[in-house]
Copies of this chain bind each other. A is one copy, B any other.
Amino acid sequence: MKKINIGIIGFGNIGAGVAKIINSRKSLLVDKIETEILIKKICDKDLTRKRDVAVDKNLLTNDAYEIINDPGIDIVVELMGGINPAKEFILAALKKGKHVVTANKALLAEHGNELFREANERGKNIYFEASVGAGIPIIKSIKEGLVANKFNSIFGIVNGTSNYVLTQMSKENCSFNNALSDAKLKGFAEKDPTFDIQGIDSAHKLVLLTYLTFGKFVNLKDIFIEGISQISAADIAYAKDLGYTIKLLAIAKKEVDELEVRVHPTLLPSEHLLASVDGVFNAIYVSSDLAGDLMFYGPGAGQLPAASAVVSDIVDLVQDIKAGLFRPTLNSKEDSSIKNLRKIEEFENKYYIRITAVDKPGVLAKISGILAKFGISIASVNQKKKVKSHVVPVVMVTHEVKGEL
Report A's interface with B, CB cutoff 8 A.
Answer: 21, 25, 28-29, 31-33, 129, 134-137, 140-141, 144-150, 271, 273, 276-277, 283, 288-299, 302, 304-305, 307-309, 311-312, 315-316, 319-320, 322-325, 327, 331-333
- Contact between B273 and A277 (Cβ–Cβ < 8 Å)? yes
Chain A to chain B contacts (Cβ below 8 Å), 9 pairs: A31-B331, A33-B331, A145-B312, A273-B276, A290-B304, A290-B305, A294-B297, A323-B324, A325-B325
In angstroms, Cα B85 to Cα A300, docked, is 46
Extra A-B contacts (8), CB below 8 Å, given A292-B299, A297-B297: A28-B150, A29-B147, A134-B291, A135-B292, A273-B277, A276-B276, A290-B305, A319-B325
Q: Are B148 and A21 in contact (CB under 8 A)?
A: yes
Complex contact A304–B292 (CB within 8 A)? yes
Contact of A32 with B332 at beta-carbon distance under 8 Å, contacts A297-B294, A302-B292 already known: yes
- Whether B309 contacts A291 by the Cβ 8 Å rule is yes
Closest-CB distance, A402 to chain B (whole angstroms): 32
Q: How far is the CA of A39 from the CA of B67 in the complex (A)?
A: 46
Cβ contact within 8 Å between A149 and B273: no
Q: How many copies does the complex hold?
A: 2
Shortest beta-carbon distance from A319 to chain B in Å: 6
Distance in Å from the Cβ of A69 to the closest Cβ of chain B?
Answer: 28
Cα A283 to Cα B294 with chains together (Å): 9
Q: Is the CB of B145 within 8 A of A141?
A: yes
Residues of B within 8 A of A308 (CB): 146, 148-149, 288, 290-291
Q: Interface centre among A28, A291, A293, A302, by most B CB within 10 Å?
A: A291
Alpha-carbon separation in the docked complex, A286 to B319 (Å): 25
Which of the residues B134, B144, B315 comes within 8 Å of A148, measured between beta carbons? B315
CB distance from A306 to the nearest CB of B (A): 9
Q: Which residue of B lies closest to A137 (CB)?
A: B145
- By a CB distance below 8 angstroms, the chain B residues around A302 are 292
In whole angstroms, how far apart are the Cα atoms of A283 and B320 in the complex?
A: 31
CA distance A295 to B282 in the complex (A): 10
By a CB distance below 8 angstroms, the chain B residues around A135 are: 146, 288, 290-292, 294
Query: In the complex the two chains form, is A319's CB within 8 Å of B327's CB?
Result: yes
> How far, in Å, is A129 (CB) from chain B's closest CB?
7
* In contact, B149 and A144 (Cβ under 8 angstroms): no
A28 surroundings in chain B (CB, below 8 A) = 148, 150, 333
Contacts of A319 on B, CB cut-off 8 Å? 325, 327
Please state if A293 and B298 are interface contacts (CB–CB under 8 Å).
yes
Which chain B positions have C-beta within 8 A of A289? 304
A384-B298 Cα distance, complex, nearest whole Å: 39
**Contacts A295-B298, A333-B31; A290 near B21 (Cβ below 8 A):** yes
For A34, give the chain B residue with the smallest CB separation. Answer: B331
The residue on B at minimum CB distance from A215 is B31
**Nearest 4 pairs of A and B residues by beta carbon:** A137-B145, A135-B291, A323-B323, A294-B298
Minimum C-beta distance from A93 to chain B (A): 23
